[in-house]
Structure 1
Amino acid sequence: MSKKVVVIGGGIMGLSSAYYLQNQGYQVTVIDQSNMDAGASYVNAGYLSPSHIIPLSAPGVMRKGIKWMFDKSSPLYIKPRLESDFLRWTWAFNKSCNPRHVEKAAPVIKDIAVLSQELYRDISKTENIDSHYVTKGLFMLCQTEKALETEVNIAHYANRLGLEAREVSAAEIKELEPNVEINAIGAAYFKCDHHTTPHEFMTGLKAALKNKDVQFYTNERVIDLEVNNNSIKSIKTDKQTIEADEFVLAAGSWSSMLSKKLGIKLLLQAGKGYRVNSERDTGITIPAILAEAKVAITPMNGFTRFAGTMEIAGINQNINKVRVEAIANAAKKYYPNVELTEEEKNNAACGLRPVSPDGLPYIGKSKKCNNLTIAAGHAMMGWSMATATGKLVSEIISDKKLSLDINPFHPDRKF
């Protein structure tokens, strides 16, 4: 009889893990506290972006974060709190904001993101999932010389890592995107980046897993773990007890709450992001990030998504209208003829991204539990890294040769 694996978390990380584990012949159960139709896996910008090689914990970010702390409409808003977990995370985040860390992290981020692109295409083809996979690249649109210099330098760095990217002028932007007015002096154009429509991939992947007899328990919360000799024997939910041989922790921003029960102190903070959809024809065909505003714009299947902000203010899913308005204002500043309606803004949604202090995810086993594999902490790169993470999880549990070196992602790493 094949081994039983329980995956805790039904977002893109959990589903990707379930997919590759099922392919290895395991009996897989996915359990999630929600109905599995909302959250970060559904409201993200849809980018598969090897270009995002600079981690959130980059030089100068902490200084900006302190400045932005007093502006609730800022791209990064960190709400100060006298909580031990938050203070430990903040200390570790600050320590990671240095050039040495960026040099170590960038190649690692690039490798897992490039592998994920390949695996998204493989899954989509194998399972006949049409998720509007598009390979038009990504603009980093700039309105100031300072921002343009920064983004072009990142493009050159990406070139050295083997990624296709270049500087484009305002005239070249117009040639590539002729059907919409864009207010930018230039951009870095990352041809290496692709994009999808997230809910379509999620819907297709869930259907494929159900057809492969993966068991799903939704609206069910894990409340306790039965542990013996550094191994989990079973999990207790608010409805039942489930036994298994192996467990995967892919519960996003909630992962650290469960890991604490095992004595594993994952430094994680929930980073809230927002999205606003417009079903009107905007004329936008190439995804763009508005460099100064940190807002992402993605043409998806039948609509355009405007997304952004990083709000580190604990686990809550309240919609902050100030931040939604900031996204709308930024969009109009760069795309003068694109104006989000009140109805569109009122239908805004949010998702919580699990943010580690160093911008790298936690993938692997902790020495404190020998049958738990962790897959969490991907921050804004969750969609870009998910399929590769799922494959790595299956390789770890199957004790197979790993597709990538996972030492930089070790759950027990020191900060």
Structure 2
Amino acid sequence: MSKEVIIIGGGIIGLCSAFYLHKAGHQVTVIDQSNMDSGASYVNAGYLSPSHLIPLAAPGVVKTGVKWMFNPSSPLYIKPRLDADFLRWTWAFNKSCSSKNVNKSIPVIKDITVFSQELYDNIKQEGQFTFHLDKKGLLMLCQTEEMLAKEVEVAEIAKQNGLDVSQLSLKELKVLEPQVELNVKGAVHFKCDSHMTPHEFMKDMKSYLKSNGVTCLTNEKVEDVAFDNGKIRAIKTSKQAYKADEFVLATGSWAPILSKKVGLKLLVQAGKGYRINSMSDTGITIPAILTEAKVAITPMRGFTRFAGTMEIAGINHNINRVRVEAIANAVSNYYPEIKLTPKEMENVAVGLRPVSPDGLPYIGKSKKCANLTIATGHAMLGWSMGTATGKLVSEIISNAKTSLNIDAFHPDRRF
């Protein structure tokens, strides 16, 4: 049965939801407060990473985070503030930083990221799509024996979960990356991972949706919700009101603002990330994470992207130049021959990742609202989980059996 569906949010999650809802025969409208050409969906590292098995909420993260709070260039920064939503999120995050949460999350994260990879491959095979997709894996570069030992532990967990991964000596690493000098002890190579150039996928997807009858409304902010008897009757934007049978909340870090209007206190905090693009020929051919610095490097089509930091400081797009310098310094530390130019560092951009307290996304319907499907909270894995989330959203709204068990993603789950 065809339904009229309004998706609030035109990032990777919103567009993938629109894609699969359209495929299922629904009438779809996407509404976004921006021009749909910037934000986290455009500035991310482009990883499709089943390797990222360990959720952000893990043992020791709070202790490390407190220590890093006094270092303006640290990879993780949580800004203390007297805000009720932030305090609730912090309490839940602290509770979630446990071995129990990690053990519960590992198989769930693996299943949805692997499924998402398969769906990206399927989309790529459709004739209309020309976006860049490469399967060279992901290197975890380590400068210390201690960090290398930790990454080997994660690699063993990945192996136990059926992922293709191996440890590399510096000599073996140089065979894989012969064009760059590396200042590292060794690496772990997650052969299971792949990578993309994000803006190419977003451009292809927007073009496909528009040419197939999906309405995309830009620069319209949803300001209010007509909510009655457990259902959304209409939404009001800065321009007009819209009615539909079903609604999808895919607004990322902004999701709690609208979820409150249906009585749902969705615990999500914005995690700001930075990206620097270099048009120079860096010689890098395989994506890598500089493990001690928590900086991601991706060879994209026509340029190399350097991305990093997780700054939880509310919704803002302010650029902290100290963090930009930290990314550039880390790059030169691991790759001594690569120096980012002042112009490249000046052209930095940021995006806000929606972070849930336990490191798992919210996908599904809350008991608070019968015709609202939540799809947010993916943190650093929004790109890795994008297509799978869109597919699941379509299945939920179509009342079909979901491709994956989504109990762990329930919007009403307790922390």
TM range (shorter): over 0.9
State the alpha-carbon separation in 1 of the partners of residues 226 and 134 from structure 2: 45
Aligned to 1:112: 112
Aligned to 2:259: 259
Partner-residue secondary structure (3-state), 1:383: coil
Aligned to 1:128: 128
Query: Could you report, residue by residue, the CA deviation over 1:210-258 in whole angstroms, capped at 9, with x for unpaired residues?
Result: 0111001100000001112101011000100000000000000000110
The within-5 A match list for 1:34-53 is 34-53=34-53
Aligned to 1:182: 182
State the alpha-carbon separation in 1 of the partners of residues 254 and 213 from structure 2: 26
Aligned to 2:285: 285
Deviation (angstroms), 1:412: 0.1
The within-5 A match list for 1:72-151 is 72-151=72-151
State the alpha-carbon separation in 1 of the partners of residues 128 and 332 from structure 2: 37
Partner-residue secondary structure (3-state), 1:277: strand
State the alpha-carbon separation in 1 of the partners of residues 264 and 256 from structure 2: 8
Deviation (angstroms), 1:125: 1.5
Deviation (angstroms), 1:100: 1.2
Aligned to 1:311: 311
Aligned: 1:302 with 2:296: no
The within-5 A match list for 1:189-338 is 189-338=189-338
State the alpha-carbon separation in 2 of the partners of residues 182 and 193 from structure 1: 21
Aligned to 2:399: 399
Aligned to 1:390: 390
Deviation (angstroms), 1:319: 1.0
State the alpha-carbon separation in 2 of the partners of residues 237 and 127 from structure 1: 35
State the alpha-carbon separation in 1 of the partners of residues 129 and 325 from structure 2: 34
State the aligned residue count: 415
Partner-residue secondary structure (3-state), 2:382: helix
Partner-residue secondary structure (3-state), 2:82: coil
State the alpha-carbon separation in 1 of the partners of residues 115 and 2 from structure 2: 28
State the alpha-carbon separation in 1 of the partners of residues 128 and 280 from structure 2: 28
Deviation (angstroms), 1:180: 0.6
State the alpha-carbon separation in 2 of the partners of residues 195 and 131 from structure 1: 11
State the alpha-carbon separation in 1 of the partners of residues 378 and 226 from structure 2: 27
- Does structure 2 conserve the Cα–Cα contact (< 8 Å) formed by 1:8 and 1:249? yes
Aligned to 1:19: 19
State the alpha-carbon separation in 2 of the partners of residues 363 and 42 from structure 1: 22
Deviation (angstroms), 1:127: 4.7
Deviation (angstroms), 1:130: 2.0
Amino acid at match of 1:275: R
Deviation (angstroms), 1:2: 3.1
What percentage of residue pairs aligned between the two structures are identical? 68
5+ unaligned residues in a row in structure 2: which ranges?
Answer: none
Partner-residue secondary structure (3-state), 1:189: strand
Aligned to 2:368: 368
Partner-residue secondary structure (3-state), 2:354: strand
5+ unaligned residues in a row in structure 1: which ranges?
Answer: none
Aligned: 1:157 with 2:152: no
Query: Could you report, residue by residue, the CA deviation over 1:109-162 in whole angstroms, capped at 9, with x for unpaired residues?
Result: 000000000101111221532221000000000000110000011001000000
- Does structure 2 conserve the Cα–Cα contact (< 8 Å) formed by 1:230 and 1:368? yes
Deviation (angstroms), 1:71: 1.0
Partner-residue secondary structure (3-state), 1:384: coil
- Does structure 1 conserve the Cα–Cα contact (< 8 Å) formed by 2:270 and 2:354? yes
State the alpha-carbon separation in 1 of the partners of residues 98 and 268 from structure 2: 19
Amino acid at match of 2:275: R
Flag as ranges the 4+ runs of structure 1 deviating above 4 A: none
TM-score scaled to structure 2, two decimals? 0.99
